[in-house]
Chains A and B, each alone.
Chain A
Amino acid sequence: MDVLTENFSLYAQGFLGTVELTVYSSILALLLGFVMASFRVAPVGSLRVLGTVWVTVLRNTPLTLLFFAVLLGLPRFGLVLPFKVFAVLALGCYTSAFICEVLRSGINTVPTGQGEAARSLGMTFGQTLNTVVLPQAFRSVIPPVGSTLIALAKNSAIAGAFSVTELLGTYKNLNELGYSIIWTFVWIAVGYLIITLSISALFNLMEKRWGVAR
């Protein structure tokens, strides 16, 4: 118990770091995932290829490797940004591949007739997707998007290894100060639980509000 009270500001910093990473990466992942899912169902072949390559490469790369590639690779091409931004990029892009596939499976749950009806009325591909298909797909993807974002929150721990302030990384300082390793980790775990359970609660609420009525 003392670990928490005596080092509250350290914990709080780490906690806020993880929250920040999670929120920014989630926004990036949702936006990119949305764009890539649109590409994967687009009538234009080159867009479909781009979407498929994006998903294949990012989904099949270990996240740690991706962090190395972004944090050590991009500066070589002259792109120097704060490590935190790099971490958000790596986490966001990685998770966008999963979001993309979740959205695409949601799109596939919408009967083809819905899209055909929209197109037969003269709506363009973008209008069909945005006003007819995605609003219906949205209801069925709420639970899996929630799971993917929870995974993102936990994956953000890898950023700690690249000297980005986040929750898991606080153990190093506390360990050096000689605190019990068990209680250090218990409080770290509680911190993660607060974040992941909040995401669960948010998505439960969304599901109640917009989910498919059965």
Chain B
Amino acid sequence: MAVDPLIELRDVNKYYGQLHVLRDINLTVGRGEVVVVIGPSGSGKSTLCRTINRLETIESGRIAIDGRPLPEEGKGLAQLRAEVGMVFQSFNLFAHRTVLANVSLAQLKVRKRKKDEADRRSRELLERVGLASHADKFPAQLSGGQQQRVAIARALAMDPKALLFDEPTSALDPEMINEVLEVMQQLARDGMTMVVVTHEMGFARSAANRVVFMADGRIVEDRTPEAFFTAPESDRAKDFLSKILKH
């Protein structure tokens, strides 16, 4: 794998004041690869995910998407963000717009599609995540799992090269987690490049090409799921797995 790198992070460091949250991160995600990032809370995994489309700035190091370094601000950055979709823990659907408008908005504003063309594409994507009948509702009328699937459709509407998932199921009731994971599994099978920060070990085992284990701002292990879950190398990972797999 990783013959054709799509996302590259080299020697990335980030601080929140005195707190060193990302330490010398090196990570390459190949085209079509699904990388799951796991680790204890406060390990920097969400921050890592957010630096990839520069929702968080970095103090040193390089990040490149498809060979192009991440621009600082302005139009260039906006264009690059359109190529990298993001799904948030708290969904962040636009509360004042209908489901259909949520999915269409950036197509109109960023991709400059015509309204009927954008809406047609939006309905296709809503169909794909199983929510075609909810197109005219407002986000607040949907369950958490439904909102998150709309958020995935909204990200897909930009035809991104890669998708970032920042704990997409952490705010969901247990019975709604699966409907979101199924959509994500399907995307993985379709060959979407994905970086997924999650606590869903089942998803990591079944859908990931690689598991990245983070602790204290460092990448401690970066291996295939089988190797990681059956024989973790580091004590930190053994400790983490023993805690979460006990129940």
Q: Which residues of A contact B (CB under 8 A)?
A: 43, 111, 113-114, 116-124, 127, 131-132, 135-136, 139
Inter-chain CA distance A121–B111, complex, in Å, is 10
Q: Which residues of chain B in 60-105 are interfacial with respect to chain A, using CB atoms and an 8 Å cutoff? A: 73-75, 78-86, 88, 90, 92-96, 105
Band of interface residues on B: 20 to 34
B92 engages A116 (CB within 8 Å): yes
Contact of B158 among A114, A122, A124, A136 (CB under 8 A): A122
Nearest CB of A to B225, in Å: 27
The answer to whether the Cβ of B245 comes within 8 Å of any Cβ in the partner chain is no
The answer to whether the Cβ of B106 comes within 8 Å of any Cβ in the partner chain is yes
Q: Which residues of B contact A (CB under 8 A)?
A: 53, 55, 73-75, 78-86, 88, 90, 92-96, 105-106, 109-110, 151, 154-155, 158
Residues of A contacting B90 in the complex (Cβ-Cβ under 8 angstroms): 111, 113
Contact of B75 among A43, A124, A132, A135 (CB under 8 A): A124
B55 engages A136 (CB within 8 Å): no
Contact of B78 among A111, A116, A119 (CB under 8 A): A119
A123 engages B94 (CB within 8 Å): no
A121 engages B106 (CB within 8 Å): yes
B93 engages A122 (CB within 8 Å): no
B96 engages A121 (CB within 8 Å): no
A43 engages B78 (CB within 8 Å): no
Nearest CB of B to A6, in Å: 53
Nearest CB of A to B197, in Å: 14
A121 engages B88 (CB within 8 Å): no
Residues of B contacting A117 in the complex (Cβ-Cβ under 8 angstroms): 86, 88, 92-94, 151, 154
Residues of A contacting B109 in the complex (Cβ-Cβ under 8 angstroms): 123, 127, 131
> Given A122-B106, A124-B75: A114 and B81 within 8 A (CB)?
no
Among B74, B86, B109, find the residue whose CB has the most chain A CB atoms closer than 10 A: B109
